[in-house]
Amino acid sequence: MSEPLDAALARVTAHVLDPERLVRAVASGRRRGERPQWRRVELRYVDLRAGRALQVTAYDDSQAHTANHPVGDAATGALASLLAEPFGNWHVDTATETHQLRVTKKGDAVVHTNPREAPAMVDFEHDREKSRLLPEDDPVFRVLGLADEQGRIKPSRQGKYRQVEEFLRILDSGITDALAAGHLRRPTADDPLRIVDLGCGNAYLTLAANRYLTAVRELPVLVVGVDRRAQPRWTDPAVTEAVGAPTCFVEGTIGDAVVDPAPEVVLALHACDTATDEALARAVEWGAPLVLAAPCCHHDLAAQLRRTPPPSPNSLLTRSGILRERLADTLTDAVRGALLRTRGYRVEVMQFVESKHTPRNTLLRATLTGARDSGVGEEYAALVAQWGVHPRLAELLDEQSPADA
Ligand SMILES: C[S@@+](CC[C@H](N)C(=O)[O-])C[C@H]1O[C@@H](n2cnc3c(N)ncnc32)[C@H](O)[C@@H]1O
């Protein structure tokens, strides 16, 4: 049932100005015939050295702007000016309830209030705030099927959204650092940065990366996705419209797909088993300055360790299946890092999502610096000899240039 807007907004004010109970408030959408200054605004409380403050993160079409307003007059004033904006929706989460306010075509308010199943914690940690690179209501998430029509990530797709967001975050900083250090050239509209996503599947990462780099960073990019299985989404015009830029797709294997001209940034998110090795080998073949690979399952070395257990005492680490699998994961990625280092890459191994979300959360970020790590070749040889394994990436690199291996 509708009610006067002023009365409903007064209740929003009371909820938002209660630091002990506010979890988060979000203003979005627009009223009929009007346009707020911001596309979306998020509010929460944070504890700063100077005291508690209302943190306001406001999104325009390209970026997030964050400001902290000390509790008291400053926070009250900041909220009042946001309430004066013609947002179409206010969503307020408190510790015990959620309130959804929608402004009707007639300018009244319809408010739905629901109790929470379990009380939520109010979190004041300042550094928890990582403004989203792409907010949940970005059109790309709707066409990717991760968000609903209201621009909220579906509960069942939270994991994928988080994975893509965190991968983008590492891509973003990787590109920034590589540009600043001169490892990547500055792209231009005529000569955009060439990016390939190998084993792109349904293209969640491919399209989100294109969207973020094009629309938010305003970086000229040419994004290509490669997978052995073409997906209907690749040719869906609604996808191109939501991304705001075209994306190319190549149906083929990672090892053989023709991507011309050679990509400069190579991405691979959960390419199965040795497909990650193929992706890394292609990156080396192309001389790609920046490579981001989050490996998936590691069956190859696990199978080798099962067939040929290492000599004692290392056999203690491979006797039980679960330990062997975990060891194989670590060994595979350590070996990949070492081989890339022998090819002039600086390699960082990082966690890209928390392990509670997926155990496949390691990410290799490799930047081609040209500096060769002199001792790493010998260490690598000793490691694989000790474990009696033959990594697939080594075979692939050997095929490319046996002299260097
Ligand atoms: C687990 S899915 C990941 C998809 C996507 N990167 C993501 O994270 O949503 C792995 C994808 O890799 C593709 N793939 C595996 N091996 C491949 C190969 N050798 N060449 C091309 N695609 C491959 C599969 O078809 C599948 O789409």
Which residues have C-beta atoms less than 6 Å from ligand 1?
199-202, 204-205, 227-229, 253-254, 269-272, 275, 278, 296
Contact, 88 vs 30, CB < 8 A? yes
pLDDT at 405 (0 to 100): 41
In this prediction, residues 185-208 reach a mean pLDDT of 96
Say whether pLDDT at 389 is over 60: yes
Rounded Cα distance, 81 and 2, in Å = 23
Structural domains in the chain, sorted by start:
2-131 (no CATH), 155-404 (3.40.50.150)
- Residue 293 alpha carbon to ligand 1 centre in Å: 12
pLDDT of residue 28: 86
Question: What are 31-70's pLDDT values in tens digits?
Answer: 999 999 998 888 999 888 889 999 998 887 656 688 999 9
Q: Tokens 């203003």 belong to which residue? A: 27
Q: Which amino acid is at 135?
A: P
- Dist. CA 271 → ligand 1 center (Å): 5
**Does residue 251 carry a pLDDT above 70?**
yes
The minimum-distance atom of ligand 1 relative to the CA of 278 is: 19
**Which residue among 270, 276, 297, 353 has the greatest number of ligand 1 atoms within 8 angstroms of its CB, and so is best to mutate?**
270
Task: Return the ligand 1 atom nearest residue 199 CA.
Answer: 12
* Site of tokens 């149906």: 251
| Interior/surface letters 321-334, b for 16+ CB within 10 angstroms, e for the rest | eeebbebbbebbbb
Residue 129 has pLDDT above 70, yes or no: no
Q: Tell me what the mean pLDDT of segment 22-31 comes to.
A: 89
Average pLDDT over residues 311-331: 91
Mean pLDDT of 129-146: 85
Query: 115 C-alpha to center of ligand 1: Å?
Result: 42
